[in-house]
Amino acid sequence: MRWTPGGTSGDIEDRRSEGGGGGFGGGGFGGIHLGLGGILVLVVLSVVFRVNLLSVFTGAPDATSTRPLTESDRAAGANSDREVQFVSFVLDDVQSTWERVLPESGAQYRHAKLVLFRNYTQSGCGTAQTATGPFYCPADEKVYIDLAFFDELRGNFGAPGEFAQAYVIAHEIGHHVQKLLGIEGQVQRLRQSNPASANPLSVRLELQADCFAGVWAKSTEQRKIIDQSDIAAGLRAAAAVGDDRLQKMATGHVSPENFTHGSSQQRMQWFRSGLDSGQIDACDTFATR
């Protein structure tokens, strides 16, 4: 990716120095959207540490406590300035793209905030934790990211490269666009009136966020910020966090009824759809069978 390190975005809320403070009081996330890779991270960490981190979401009492800051965390902090500038660049670029694109569909864009945190922090949707992975909270219109997730993405999920990180941010802002368009609200109501439809609706919501990430990627391609190798990295990132791959890593087999993000294949296909057209209209994941 071609970008110039600059300042910190005015839409970034940096809570990293608060990491480890406060407490997380009992409650689970309820119906919160786990975010790109969130479940994947939970499952992998659960396997590594032999602790059921997924229990955090069911409110079971054996959730792990957070790890105190170490020296290497502090050293990583010094190196993360460039990472924060990169996140800032992507966030501002994604949001200014939607400021331009959304009015074409008769809607106005309103900026989302992006919260950087360490270990855990409070969100309008419950406690955000590192193990949750990045997610968007519609209640406070903020994206929550612990930068440690990007290390996971590079190291464990075979998705290196800056564009893979940019893809994650663009996907989460895609969920914000869904809220602004009223799609997220409609899906919430449908889920409540028909609980059996909750999972397929979640998949369509996720795939649409991938498609919206593609719409942004199209605009960066036109401005020569990204090239074909970045797109390949983005497609690998989409595949890396697809639930089929996630399930294979965790259990050795795939059971489609548990999918919430869609298969790697579906994710790549919808990212492509947004990327090829650059149009919101190409992202109607709810219209297909």
Residues making contact with Zn ion (CB under 5 A): 36, 206, 209
- CA dist 18 and 15 (Å) reads 5
Taking the complex as a whole, the smallest distance from the CB of residue 14 to Zn ion amounts, in Å, to 23
Bridge partners of 129, per DSSP, are 120
Taking the complex as a whole, the smallest distance from the CB of residue 213 to Zn ion amounts, in Å, to 10
Residue 44 or 205: which CB sits closer to Zn ion?
A: 205
Residue 19 or 174: which CB sits closer to Zn ion?
A: 174
- CA dist 151 and 90 (Å) reads 17
Residue 206 or 230: which CB sits closer to Zn ion?
A: 206
Other CB atoms within a 10 A radius of the CB of residue 235 amount to: 22
Closest CA to 173 of 134, 131, 122, 125: 134
Q: Exposed, middle or buried, 140 (CB in 10 Å: 0-12/13-18/19+)?
A: middle
Residue 162 or 206: which CB sits closer to Zn ion?
A: 206
Taking the complex as a whole, the smallest distance from the CB of residue 209 to Zn ion amounts, in Å, to 5
Taking the complex as a whole, the smallest distance from the CB of residue 224 to Zn ion amounts, in Å, to 28
Taking the complex as a whole, the smallest distance from the CB of residue 172 to Zn ion amounts, in Å, to 7
**CA 272 to chain centroid:** 18
Other CB atoms within a 10 A radius of the CB of residue 79 amount to: 8
Residue 80 or 135: which CB sits closer to Zn ion?
A: 135
The backbone torsions φ and ψ at residue 202, rounded to the nearest 5 degrees and listed phi first, read -60, -40
Place of tokens 């893809």: 167
